[in-house]
Structure 1
C-alpha cells in the first residue's frame, strides 16, 4: 500500500509527464491540417504541369 507522500508524488509525476488531452487533440488537428495543405499543394503543382504540357 502506498503512503500519502508516495501517492502525491505519483500524481505529481503523472501530471507533469502525461500529455494533456487538449494538447494531443490540437497536435492531431495540426498534423491533419498539414497533410491536407500538403496534398493541396501537390494537386496544384500537378494541375499546373498538366496545363503547361
Structure 2
C-alpha cells in the first residue's frame, strides 16, 4: 500500500489578507473610540469581563 501524498492548498495573497483584516479592525476600533469613547470603553469592558468565563 502506497503512502498518500499530502495535498497542498495555496491561498492567494495569504500574508496580506490577515494584515489587511487587522488594519481594518484597528481602524474601526480607533475611529469608534474617537467618535464615541464612552460606548466603546463600555463595550471593551464588557468584552474583557467575559474573558474569564471562557475556561468554564
Query: What TM-score, normalized by structure 2, do the two folds share?
Result: 0.43
Query: What TM-score, normalized by structure 1, do the two folds share?
Result: 0.45
Structure possessing the higher radius of gyration over alpha carbons: 1
Give the number of the structure whose residues are more often helix, by fraction.
Answer: 1
